[in-house]
Chains A and B, each alone.
Chain A
Amino acid sequence: MKRLPTIATSALGLGAFLFWLVAHPEWISYQEQYQLFLFNADYLAERLSVAGGVADYAAEFITQFFYVVPLGALLMALICVVLQRLCLLVCRRALPGAEPRPALSMVPALLLVAHMGDEEVLPSFAVALVMALGAALLTMRAGRWRTAVEVGMVPMLYWAAGPVALAYVLLMAVHDALRPDLSLRARTLGGIALAAYAVAAIAVIAQTALRQYPWPDAWGGINYHRNRLTYPALQFVIEAAVGLMPALAVGLHRIRLRHIGAVEMSVAIAGGAALIASSYDRDKYLQLRYDYLIRFERWNDIVRSAEKYMPATPLASSSVNLALGMTHQLGRRMFEFSQCGSDGLLCRFERNMVSCVPTAEACFRLGMVNEAMRLYFDSQESILNNRKSGRMTQRIAEANIICGRLGVARKYLADLKETIFYSRWARMAERCIDAGDLTPWDHIRSLRYTTPLIDDVDPKKMLAVLWMGNKDNRMAYDYLMAGIMLDCDMQMFANMMPTLADTDFDSLPRHYREAVAMFWLQGMLPADSRIAPSDEMKRDIRAFDTHFLMASDRRKMLKSRWNKTYWTYCLVTFPALAASTGATTLKH
């Protein structure tokens, strides 16, 4: 069983790697896209100017590599492995002459993975933990200089890693309390003195050097969580687990049962897995997954994922609709998926950093560049810890180039040039600007509005203007029709019907045919209309109508053979919306 620690470490590393690579690659991408690590002295100075800044800087340095998701998964797995190995070393220190069982050493790493199920928990916390454990192991080797090292280490570690320095203090106090070579009095007083010193040191630092930060930040951490003034309980549980590691190691080592190692390992793995499973909310992560797939333009993967399950939220709908729009399937398939009205096509702005990103991406591709720039900008400004975003900065720079604000674009490009993964693109863009050659953006430039105009509160009107300005903008047309249908706006659909007339009815996208059939059944199709439903469609809508009128519980309609039709969307899913536009019933 000598190899058990190595096996445990390998299993943890491999498990963590696969977890982030296969189960939650979106977590990796999410972390990367809400920071912009810059290689310049100002950026370093800004990070080092607050407690925990070294850990934060190191974590952001690592996180920039998450741009390549497999590399990100590997780096996160490495952090877990380092954390576990350091915990194992602490356990070994607590049990001189004996080999500790590895299960305990895995607990902080497993708790950390679970803790990171809150996507706003920053990798800085993980790096800070590693620094605290490293500092503790160094201190343990200090011999007779140990007290002096502790006195210096507490403020240094606090400034470098933040309040995990308290976990260091606890760990050292507990470790000393278990030392047989010290008297009980020395152990007790030593621990109390170290704790008192740490509290006093942190208080002084907070009062003098963190004047622009609220008092709770000094104790809960400035850079451990993206959301300011948020300190999840699990963060303190992990810190306590690290701090109490020597005592737990000694306690568990005293348990002498047959197969205790296997039992401990089973409990750690099963408990960890259960905790992790409960920490990653399915719907939330599915929406983050859509955003990740949008970022890398994996439209078919979004559609495939949504075919299995999708949350019924505007964010999810706008993501899936964008994927359908990009693959020219909106008119054919949009009602196969959960829809939330026109809010699920182009979401209304909300002050958060996530919800409008798919809408911004859609606007950018549609040619609504000012709107896209506003949404990117506001999404970036909504990043909870005031950081910038490489992804959004790039888009803002592009939008400025497209709009001809080249001076402002250069400012953003200057930032991107100081990164690893965006600099190549930024240099290319700068060369284009220098040469006056904007061909990379010609397509979007050709889709833009041609005259100055004010944004209307109704996105359908803006889409209509956009499409009228350039009738080759097929995506604008698809989105316009989708918006009309999602609003059940039959009047506006009627206005748009002439645009369908040149196409054979059976060649029209399915949902357009369904809408035309509704007009036909209501007798609203003009006699001279060049477009008329096929016999099969007429039979189908008559059957739907009969079924609809007879159904005692209309929710059952959602499970019927028409559940993926525009008719069900209009009359069952959103009857109130349909009522407001006069489409409540088919027959009259």
Chain B
Amino acid sequence: MNRTAASIIIMCIALALAGCARRPHDARRAGTLPAIYPDYIGTTIPAGIAPLNFCIDSVDLVDVEVRGSKGGHLAANGRWACFDIDNWHRLTALNAGGRLTFSVCTLADGQWTRYDDFDISVSTDPLDDFGVVYRKIAPGYETFSHIGIYQRNISTFDEYAIVESTAAPGQCINCHAFRGTDPDHFQLHFRGLRGATLIQTEGRRRWLNTKTDRTISGCAYPYWHPTGRYCAYSLNLVHQRFFAAGEQYIEVFDKASDAVVLDVGRNQLITSPCLQTDELETYPVFAADGQSIFYCTSKRYDNHADFARIRYDLCRVPFDAATGRIGTRPDTVIHASAQGKSVTFPSPSHDGRFLLYCQADFGVFPINHREADLWLLDLRTGLTHPLDKANSPHTESYHSWSTCSRWIVFSSRRDDDLHSRLFVAHIDTCGRADKAFMLPQHNPRRLYDRSHYAYNMPEFVARKVDFDTQAAFGELFSDEREQTTMRPE
């Protein structure tokens, strides 16, 4: 039995005890939009997404009627707006390219209140992926208790654990990555006494020890080559500083970092002089065509007190997938440091048109930077712009593209300034973002108020990830590892 099943049983009992629905009557007009949580007003959603259930604080009942501009309607009445999944899917499918109008009434202290209607647009761009894979971890400092990698069906509210720390006690689990959105090529790091990099390709698991005597660390931030033959990694010596006072209370930075490419089949690391310099190189990612590598690079400061001077530019270096050779002459794509900014988390769209990245005032780890925003680089024109409609005054951080490259999922701290939540935004063909919506939850207020987890590293997956946790546990604790080597020059 999993937690979901147990929750459903308890919820059924609670529902059986609940009273009958009451409908609005003699409602007074508020003359304002309802303060719904999450804020879905004016967002753009894909057809087939899970129902946008929402809550309104300090009311006894919520009554909602949804009408489609192309037909159909749907109603919800209860402690929060909770829509039937099948009916919701039918309504959104019918209204793709149109809009849904929400009429909301609330009951508080025996008085019904009617709010102004609001709209949500339904895009014609489909989001056909199965769901999103993310990690849940309490946002903290140096330790962690329960963490896990989960996959969420974005058409429903179902969440499945891929691997939790209960299965690998004492291990930190991080950096899940897929080839594009293909779950058949999957990588994951286990950190700790029995640390290893797990590579799962088409159901076969391999456990690698990627630290070599010629590299500064084991492999860290991953990115698969479109062919699945290679995986780019950064190598990082990570350091943390804590703030004794002030708004920010932690800064994560690299004392040293390089970038490499792993030839997955041969278990060999490939490098290039331009990716292993005395400066800092990190977050290598392959271009959508696989013929170049984007990466971030910054000047290195030996004095750790200078961490606020570390600013990353975005560079690009050619890559030959046939030979596995990395070019030696990089180009600077975004010279952010010249503008006093730092570029991190580059992520090319799968259609090769755009590159999404984070921009902050400094540093390599934007999650702790309130000013961090999402920016988009048009790879055809070389122009960049912030995703104003998707951004917020709070932190925007890790992100990834859907298979069709019209949707992005990203983590943001806009909810409470500490716990990152997942948001989905539509990107049109010109690279303009619509207002992002929080990944729908069955009862968002209850879930997020009670949860002490941050949701990070969201990655779209086209299909459900198949992972045998118990078999993986046996292998993890067997200590059998394939030693990664450096490819001879």
A456 shortest CB reach to chain B, Å? 8
Residue A450 at the chain B interface, CB threshold 8 Å: yes
A contact residues around B416 at 8 Å (CB): 407-408, 411
Complex contact A452–B169 (CB within 8 A): no
Interface contact A215-B470, CB-CB below 8 Å: yes
- Total contacts A-B at CB 8 Å: 130
Q: Which residue of B lies closest to A227 (CB)?
A: B169
- With a cutoff of 8 Å between Cβ atoms, the chain B residues found around residue A414 in the complex are 449-450
- Binary interface encoding of chain B residues 154-165 relative to chain A, with 1 for a CB under 8 A from any of its CBs, else 0: 000000010111
| A 84-141 contacts with B by CB, 8 A | none
- Determine if B244 is an interface residue (Cβ-Cβ < 8 Å): yes
- Please measure, in the bound complex, the distance between the C-alpha atom of A212 and the C-alpha atom of B168, giving whole angstroms: 8
Min distance, Cβ A120 to any Cβ of chain B, angstroms: 13
Interface residues on chain B, number (Cβ under 8 Å): 50
* A383 at interface by CB-CB < 8 Å: yes
> Are A215 and B244 interface neighbours, CB within 8 A?
no
Which of A62-70, A368-376, A555-563 touches B? Answer: A368-376
For chain B residues 101-148, which have a beta carbon within 8 Å of chain A? 138, 140-146, 148
Is A451 among interface residues, defined by CB-CB distance under 8 A?
yes
Contact of B6 among A45, A213, A387 (CB under 8 A): A45
| Alpha-carbon separation in the docked complex, A383 to B161 (Å) | 22
Alpha-carbon separation in the docked complex, A44 to B249 (Å): 34
Q: How many positions in chain A have a CB within 8 Å of any CB in the partner chain? A: 50
Alpha-carbon distance A572/B209, docked complex (angstroms): 47
Q: What 1/0 mask marks residues of chain B from 243 to 282 whose CB sits below 8 Å from any chain A CB? A: 1111111000000000000000000000000000000000
Residues of B within 8 A of A407 (CB): 416-418
Could you say which residues of chain B place their CB within 8 Å of the CB of A374?
141, 242, 249
B147 closest partner in A (C-beta):
A386
Given A414-B450, A453-B245, check contact A45 B418 (CB 8 Å). no
B322 contacts chain A at the CB level, 8 A cutoff: no
Q: Tell me the chain A residues, 158-201 only, with Cβ under 8 Å from chain B.
A: 159
A415 to B166, CA, bound (A): 23
Given A378-B143, A381-B140, A386 contacting B165 (CB threshold 8 A):
yes
Given contacts A41-B11, A386-B165, contact A49 B6 (CB under 8 A): yes
Q: Min CB distance, B481 to chain A, in Å?
A: 19
Does A351 sit at the interface, judged by CB under 8 A? Answer: yes
Q: Taking the complex as formed, is A40 at the interface, i.e. its CB lies under 8 A from any CB of chain B?
A: yes
- In Å, the complex CA distance between A451 and B144 comes to 29
Do A455 and B244 touch across chains, with their CB atoms under 8 A apart? yes
Neighbour of A212 across the interface among B11, B163, B241, B450, CB < 8 A: B163
Is B429 close to A, CB under 8 A? Answer: no
Contact yes or no, A45 B242, CB < 8 A: no
In the complex, what distance in Å separates the CA atom of A450 from the CA atom of B244? 10
From residue B304, how far is it (CB to closest CB) to chain A in Å?
9
Q: Is A229 on the interface with B (CB-CB < 8 A)?
A: yes
A438 contacts chain B at the CB level, 8 A cutoff: no
- The docked-state distance in angstroms from the alpha carbon of A41 to that of B457 is 29
Q: Does A211 contact B (CB under 8 A)?
A: yes
Chain A positions within 8 Å of B474 at CB level: 215
A349 within 8 A of B: yes
Q: Which residue of B142, B166, B245, B249 has the most chain A CB atoms within 10 A of its CB atom? A: B245
In the assembled complex, the Cα of A45 lies from the Cα of B241 at a distance in Å of 38
The answer for the CA separation of A351 and B193 in the assembled complex, in Å, is 14
B427-468 residues with Cβ-Cβ distance < 8 A to A are: 449-450, 452
A229 to B192, CA, bound (A): 15
State the CA gap A371–B246 with chains docked (Å).
12
B473 — nearest CB in chain A belongs to which residue?
A214
A553 at the interface (CB under 8 A from B): no
CB B452 to nearest CB in A, in angstroms, measures 7
A210-234 to B contact mask, C-beta < 8 Å, 1/0: 0111110000001000001100000
CA distance A387 to B247 in the complex (A): 28
Interchain CB contact under 8 A, A383 and B470: no
Are B246 and A48 touching (Cβ within 8 A)? no
Are A44 and B166 also in contact (CB < 8 A) when A370-B243, A378-B143 are?
no
Contact, CB under 8 Å: A49 / B418:
no
In the assembled complex, which residues on chain A have CB atoms less than 8 Å from the CB atom of B450?
40, 42, 414-415
Given A49-B2, A351-B143, A374-B141, A453 and B477 contact (CB-CB distance below 8 Å): no
The verdict on B212 contacting chain A, using a C-beta distance below 8 Å, is: no
B7 within 8 A of A: yes
**A46 interfacial contact with B, CB 8 Å:** yes
The interface centre, meaning the residue of B6, B7, B244 with most chain A CB atoms within 10 A of its CB, is B244
On chain A, the residues within 8 Å of B241 by CB distance are: 454-455
B10 in contact (CB, < 8 A): yes
Contact indicator A462/B244 (Cβ below 8 Å): yes
A289 interfacial contact with B, CB 8 Å:
no
Separation of A135 and B10 alpha carbons in the complex (Å): 25
Contact of B166 among A212, A349, A411 (CB under 8 A): A212
Judged by a CB distance under 8 angstroms, whether B35 is at the interface is no
Contact with B along A359-377 (1 / 0, CB 8 A): 0000000001011011001
Q: Is A448 an interface residue (CB 8 A)?
A: yes
- Which residues of chain A come closer than 8 Å to B417, judged between CB atoms? 405, 407-408
- Taking a contact as CB atoms under 8 Å apart, the answer to whether A370 and B249 are in contact is yes
A44 & B10 in contact (Cβ 8 Å cutoff) = yes
Bound Cα distance A16, B249 (Å): 46
Contact indicator A41/B14 (Cβ below 8 Å): yes
B422 shortest CB reach to chain A, Å? 18
Please tell me if A449 contacts chain B, counting CB pairs below 8 Å.
yes
Judged by a CB distance under 8 angstroms, whether A313 is at the interface is: no
Known A-B contacts A228-B170, A386-B165, A414-B450; the reply to A455 vs B243 at CB < 8 A is yes
B167 interface contact, C-beta 8 A: yes
B190 CB, min distance to chain A CBs, angstroms: 13
> Within the complex, what minimum Cβ distance (angstroms) separates B141 from chain A?
5
Closest A residue, CB atoms, query B165: A386
Would you call A386 and B146 a contact (CB within 8 A)? yes
Residue in B7, B170, B452, B470 whose beta carbon sits within 8 Å of that of A211 in the complex: B470
User: Is there a chain B Cβ closer than 8 Å to A209's Cβ?
Assistant: yes
**Residue A419 interfacial (CB < 8 Å):** no
Partner of A378, one of B142, B163, B164: B142
CA distance A373 to B418 in the complex (A): 14
Which residues of A are at the interface with B, using a C-beta cutoff of 8 A? 40-42, 44-46, 48-49, 159, 207, 209, 211-215, 222, 228-229, 349, 351, 368, 370-371, 373-374, 377-378, 380-383, 386-387, 405, 407-408, 411, 414-415, 448-455, 462, 465
List, sorted by A's number, 29 A–B pairs whose CB atoms are closer than 8 Å. A42-B7, A42-B450, A44-B10, A45-B7, A48-B1, A159-B1, A209-B1, A211-B470, A212-B166, A213-B166, A213-B167, A214-B169, A214-B473, A228-B166, A351-B143, A370-B243, A371-B242, A371-B244, A378-B141, A381-B145, A382-B145, A386-B146, A387-B145, A411-B449, A414-B449, A449-B244, A451-B246, A453-B244, A462-B244
Q: Give me the 5 closest cross-chain CB pairs, A-B, nearest first.
A: A452-B246, A228-B169, A449-B245, A45-B6, A386-B146
Given known contacts A374-B141, A452-B247, what 6 new A-B pairs fall within 8 Å (CB)? A42-B450, A207-B470, A377-B140, A386-B166, A449-B245, A450-B245
By a beta-carbon cutoff of 8 Å, the part of chain B in contact with chain A is 1-3, 5-7, 9-11, 14, 138, 140-146, 148, 161, 163-170, 241-249, 305, 416-419, 449-450, 452, 469-470, 473-474, 477
